[in-house]
Amino acid sequence: MGKRKNEPDRIVYTGGKEFRLYKYYDELSGDEILDYPNFQESPEYTSDGRPFTLAVQESCEYGRDDNDSNDPDPGDCGGCVWFHREAAYDPIGVCMCEEIRRI
């Protein structure tokens, strides 16, 4: 990754935190893409112990999709009933599931 610009390409506010996202050049796709935090490698939590997640992260064992009674697994965090985001379509949110809350 090259030198980082001063101004982020996107700012996401959620769970009392500001995430400043910058683009980088991806050689594989040949495009500039946003560099999202990797919460699986480096977990981050709200002040009350709730984990931040990306909408595209694979859902965990507690993931639930109330819209599909035949298959309650939402597939990703963005489709889970526990996923909370401040604004529609934000890529980063907070998992509200009590089972994985850090106390």
Q: Which residue has the higher pLDDT, 4 or 93?
A: 93
84: part of which helix (H) or strand (E)? Answer: strand 83-84
pLDDT of 30 > 60? The answer is yes
Say what the pTM is.
Answer: 0.84
DSSP string, 34-69: E----TTTS--B-TTSPBEEETTSBP-TT---TT-S
d(CA 90, CA 3): 26
Report pLDDT for 21.
Answer: 96
Residue spans per domain, the chain: 10-100
Report pLDDT for 6.
Answer: 82
Q: Which residue has the higher pLDDT, 73 or 9?
A: 9
Output phi, psi for 69, to 5 deg: -70, -20
Summarised one tens digit per residue, pLDDT across range 33-83 is 999 999 999 999 999 999 999 999 999 999 988 776 677 788 899 999 999
